[in-house]
Amino acid sequence: MSTSPPLTAESGRMGAGAAGMLAVLCGAIFLEGVDAAMLNIALPSIRAELGLSTTTLSAVVSAYVLAYAGLMLLGGRVADIYGKRKVFLTALAVFLLFSGLGGFATEGWMLLTARFVTGAAAAFMTPAGLALISGSFPEGLQRNRAVLIYAGTASAGFSLGLVIGGLLSAVGWRWVFFAPVIVSAILLVAGLKLIVENKESIAPRQRFDIAGAVTLTGAMLLAAYTLTRLEHATGELSWTIATAGASAVLWLAFILIERTSRAPLMRLGIFRSASLVRSNLGAMLFTGAFFGFQFIVSLYLQELLGWSAFETSLALIVIGMDAILAPLLTPLLVERFGNGRVVLGGFAFAVAGYALFLGMGLDWTYAAMLPSTILLGLAFSLGYGPLTIIATEGIAENEQGLASGLVNTSFQFGAALGLSAVSAVGTLALGDGDSPSERLEALRTALLIPVAATAIGMIIMSFGRSRCADASCRLQAG
């Protein structure tokens, strides 16, 4: 196996080997996005066949998010130390096996186990995949193109997963689990042949920071769990406060451990990178706003307008235009204007899209909501990829896995926070009301959260706007 990245030199174009490796990595991140989205559409069918309670059904979704968010940083650091290729392929194999277990589930605990382990596998696979790109493609034009294609594929996976989930659920909900098994197997075989790794990007083998790993994972899991419980805080306030407090204690313990450890799991000095901090905050706000918006739109279309789940997924498919625009248009815009300016454009489109949807009414047609979905498709095309680039630029090669884990964690926590925030605000705004007009007004109030989040994100990212005049400087600007 070659140990150097299969790239062409001066032209900036990818060689066949590089393109093949990128295709496998994009296939994996597309699979992860599709897998997460498909399950949401299949939940009613799963409940009908297995007779699951609402609490268990919600836990099936939460189990994946908790494992994914809680183990992401650990996954990134393990990839740095033990090798991105090895970690990526191992995690993909685990993803395959436990997705299959979910398809054979006959009890709720089997689904919970399958989703938790699948989420854990994704937490190791995702930062390893992004770090393989960052460590294999030279910083600048080649890496920008590769990351933009990768990020566009990731966001498209979630958008198209809603439709794919609807189609598979019509055949049988178990295919929501079996289809990823087939795709994972193909990717695993291709990955064994096509994925190579520059050994210089592997951190020197060192004593593993067990104490840091345990406290970090516990802190992340409890923090993620607290976020998922925010919408139920009025009924279980003491439990929510307890988990938040326990998470805070573990975070403090983790910081103290990392400051004194000779081989820290996460070098705290990485946060001296202003672009890394800024892009992670932007990532949280960007995805938090979108996931909150999607939750609102799902309730609006299905509960107030009477649309089916499949019709709802088709209504949102326009947002998936980023699958085409992100790899084709965004690299040209980044080359011309720089990552910072392109990200600002993405946030501006998002603010406009959410604000336009504030006019939703009980008599709205699809044509009335189409401008918002188009604007959000443009927002993801311009925002997701450049945010990812900014988060990993200027970071040492042996910490690319850590930086990749950080930004992906921010995306996941943003999603959890956005969902909880709009749910809590919508519930508070509705109060005891239950008429269609009152429910509509509550949804409009909740929609202010995505509008505010993207506006704040736009302000944060504006501080990092590149002031470079020449194109090569702009390409690397955060």
Domain containing residue 148: 16-208+265-475
CA–CA–CA angle 17, 160, 424 (5° rounding): 125
Single-letter amino acid code for the residue at 319: I
Residues 447 and 418 in one domain: yes
Output 231 or 84, whichever has higher pLDDT. 84
Single residue among 264, 281, 304 that ends a domain in this structure: 264
Q: What is the pLDDT of residue 373?
A: 93
Number of domains in the chain: 2
Residues 258 and 339 in one domain: no
Instruction: Report CA 136 to chain centroid distance, whole Å.
Output: 22
Question: In the structure, what pLDDT confidence band is assigned to residue 230 with cuts at 50, 70 and 90?
Answer: low
Distances (CA, A) of 296 to 75, 286, 354, 411: 32, 16, 11, 19
Residues 293 and 220 in one domain: no
Q: Model confidence over 35-61: pLDDT tens digits?
A: 877 887 777 778 788 887 756 776 787
State the pTM of this model.
0.76
Q: Model confidence over 204-227: pLDDT tens digits?
A: 556 667 788 788 878 877 887 777
Residues 389 and 310 in one domain: yes
Output 393 or 462, whichever has higher pLDDT. 462
Taking the C-alpha atoms of residue 249 and residue 245, their distance in angstroms, rounded to an integer, is 6
Residues 225 and 270 in one domain: no
State mean pLDDT over 255-281: 86
Tell me: pLDDT of 241 over 80.
yes
Single residue among 217, 245, 264 that ends a domain in this structure: 264
Residues 173 and 218 in one domain: no
Tell me: pLDDT of 381 over 60.
yes
User: Is the distance from CB of 70 to CB of 221 less than 8 angstroms?
Assistant: yes
Burial group, residue 30, by CB count within 10 angstroms (0-12, 13-18, 19+): buried
Tell me: pLDDT of 82 over 80.
yes
Q: For a pLDDT cut of 70, what percent of the chain falls above it?
A: 89
Residues 336 and 409 in one domain: yes
Q: Can you tell me which residue has the tokens 């042949």?
A: 193
Q: Which of 294, 219, 266 is nearest to 80 (CA)?
A: 266
Q: Model confidence over 314-354: pLDDT tens digits?
A: 888 888 787 788 778 888 898 889 889 999 999 999 999 99
Taking the C-alpha atoms of residue 187 and residue 368, their distance in angstroms, rounded to an integer, is 40
DSSP 205: P
The residues near 368 (Cβ < 8 Å, ≥ 6 apart) are 359, 360, 361
Q: What is the pLDDT of residue 14?
A: 64
User: Is the distance from CB of 87 to CB of 78 less than 8 angstroms?
Assistant: yes
Q: What is the pLDDT of residue 100?
A: 92
Q: Model confidence over 69-79: pLDDT tens digits?
A: 778 878 887 88
What CATH number did the domain enclosing 351 receive?
1.20.1250.20
Q: Model confidence over 413-431: pLDDT tens digits?
A: 788 788 778 877 887 888 7
Residues 318 and 440 in one domain: yes
User: Is the distance from CB of 7 to CB of 114 less than 8 angstroms?
Assistant: no
Residues 163 and 111 in one domain: yes
User: Is the distance from CB of 125 to CB of 298 less than 8 angstroms?
Assistant: no
Residue 6 lies in a domain: no
The residues near 397 (Cβ < 8 Å, ≥ 6 apart) are 134, 135, 198, 200, 201
Taking the C-alpha atoms of residue 225 and residue 66, their distance in angstroms, rounded to an integer, is 6
Q: What is the secondary structure of 387-451 as a DSSP string?
A: HHHHHHTT--GGGHHHHHHHHHHHHHHHHHHHHHHHHHHHHHHHTT--SHHHHHHHHHHHHHHHH
Average pLDDT, the chain: 82
Q: Which residues pair with 14 in a beta bridge?
A: 7
Residues 271 and 250 in one domain: no
User: Is the distance from CB of 5 to CB of 137 less than 8 angstroms?
Assistant: yes
Q: Model confidence over 366-380: pLDDT tens digits?
A: 999 999 999 999 998
Out of 58-72, 359-373, 432-446, give the one with best mean pLDDT.
359-373
